[in-house]
Amino acid sequence: MIVGIKKERRYILFAFIVLAAYLSPLFILQENAHIRVHDNLDSNLAWYRVLARSGEMFGGVNGVIPQIINGQLSRNAFGTEYSLIVWLYALFPTMIAYALSQTITRIAAFFGMYLLLKKHLLPGERWLPFQIGSALAFALTPFWPSGMLSTLGIPLALWAFLNIRKDGGTWKDYLVLTLLPLYASIVLGFFFFLSAMGIFWLTDFLRGKGWNLRFLFSIAYMSLIFMIVEYRLVFSFLYKGEPNSRDEYFHAELPFWRTVRLFFKNYLLGHTHVMTVHSLFILPATFIAIYLVYSKRLWKQEKWFVFLFGLNLVLSLWYAFWFYEGWLPLTKKFHFMDTFNFARYHFLRPLVIYGSFALALKIISLQGISWAKMAKWAIVMQILFLGLFNDEIIYRQKPTVKEFFAEEMFYEIKEHIGLKQEEYRIASIGIHPAISQYNGFYTLDTYNNFYPLNYKHQFRKIIEKELAENKTIRNYFDQWGGRCYIFTAQLGKRYMIKKDSKRHLKKLQLNTDVFKEMGGRYIFSAIPIDNAAENSLALDKIFESKTSAWKIYLYKTL
């Protein structure tokens, strides 16, 4: 027993060393680190800073964020003040908060998957290398940073629920169910997990296993905690006010064969918000294992693996077919099917994929000594492969955090304009509005999940002629509109144009009158506008800095 504990501690220590090495660039490089831009630098990191400065951290459910879209952005769009990630960014510099968030998430992910495998899916000291190895691999996945524990915390929650289901659980299980909602989002993972737990309980009941009221209570308890933490979301859902941008979100548009293609893409490659990096080593291992189960008739002995293997297929199928045009009659009748993204049941896939991976390795290793060696090499290779997906490697061609937000240069712009930032409004061309927002500018453009629909329609008038000439950006704006940007037909969906670009905007067609009516006085353009005068714009000054990824052409309205 003592030998087993020592061995377990050595494996856990090894896992911590790997995690520390993986996270070290964030702590060492800080603002000079390279991190994800999409749905991260271009949005969430700026939102946290704007919220912290707004004075609306504890603003009422009808409060607004003054800095964005003329104060028409609801405070509720920035989430709950009871989320720990909000406070990390309020209390610490951006990259310290980011590094701490990554550390919290990955450690919780590791222990959650390890405990789940050790106690429920893959018990037995014999399987310690697969328990630790799979948990470590799971913790190294390049998850969406602002998702926190919305997906990577699910194994920990499942461990607690299975404990309660089996023998009533302990205070530790309820502590897990209480704390997870403080560092996770119900719409980014746990709504789908908790509804799956409800189906699990119902299945038990229908199979004659009784009411199991403690299990049922635990599901209701965690749901209630989430409702309290996410009270702003609950309010926005129950007390729907004026129409918002999500009312023009239409998802059911893919024909059948494109839907089938999306299924294979999701199943084989995964999704950007829940990257599992499973194609090269995990997928072959699970295919080998399911063949062994089939050929040796191991269906009953390996029922957990078979279930997870099938569930993985079903989740990808559900994700793809949520976008199938065949849903249109129902979405027209039940509007909530457009405004709520039920495709996110596929956010359960990280748990399913890495749980099935551990079980697949066990099945393979039982076939003989050479098979066991192959299984161990598979987990080693998966961990090494995930190491190559470190942000510092895969985003090395992107701007560093310092270069992205370019605080020194934007301070120069602010000083050159010479007015209080709240006295004028700006918009950007060729760069994300989040950059200006992060630097304190009041913007007419934004990237947010929902905002008033009438504002979207008003802003559309500024870019109406540009949208008319480019179907891609027209559909992107009209059928979603989360990015309320000054799109141009020439640039399309390019909004990260670096300072070494030789591009020019040649035939820009903006409705500058509407821009000025909305309070717009300046445009920050990443490239020169050749016909600025035709758009009632005049070049004021060009700004460039060694510490900035961008060159800003400051245009003033005439």
pLDDT digits (tens, 9 = 90+) for 340-373: 677 788 899 999 999 999 999 999 999 989 999 9
Q: For residue 501, which amino acid is it?
A: S
With cut-offs at 50, 70 and 90, classify the pLDDT of residue 376. Answer: very high
- H/E segment holding residue 439: none
How far is residue 393's CA from residue 453's CA, in Å, rounded to a whole number?
40
Would you state the pLDDT for residue 373? 93
DSSP 490: T
- What is the structure's pLDDT at 252? 66
Q: Please give the distance of CA 214 from its chain centroid, rounded to a whole number.
A: 32
User: Which residue reads 């060694």 in tokens?
Assistant: 546
198 contacts: CB under 8 Å, gap ≥ 6: 219
Question: Strand 425-429 and strand 520-525: pairing?
Answer: parallel
What phi and psi, each to the nearest 5 degrees, are found at residue 109? -65, -45
Instruction: With cut-offs at 50, 70 and 90, classify the pLDDT of residue 400.
Output: very high
Give the 3-state DSSP-derived string for 265-320, with helices as H, strands as E and coil as C. HHHHHCECCECCCCCCCHHHHHHHHHHHHHHCCCCCCCHHHHHHHHHHHHHHHHHH
Residue 86 confidence (pLDDT) above 90: yes
Residue 29, classified by CB atoms within 10 Å of its CB into exposed (0-12), middle (13-18) or buried (19+), is middle
List, in sequence order, every beta strand (DSSP E) within 298-379: none
282 and 326 Cβ atoms separated by less than 8 Å: no
DSSP codes, 524-554: EESS-BTTGGGGTEEEEEEEE-TT-S-EEEE
Closest CA to 197 of 180, 182, 183: 180
Q: List C-alpha distances in Å: 223 to 216, 342, 545.
A: 11, 17, 49
Which range, of 3-17, 75-89, 204-218, 237-251, averages the lowest pLDDT? 237-251
User: Could you report the per-residue pLDDT of 463-499, keeping only the tens digit for each?
Assistant: 999 999 999 999 999 888 889 999 999 999 998 999 9
Q: First-to-last CA distance in the chain? A: 80
Q: Which of 391, 371, 350 is nearest to 22 (CA)?
A: 391
Closest by CA to 103, choosing from 10, 11, 23, is 23
The DSSP output letter for 143 is B
Mean pLDDT value across the chain: 91
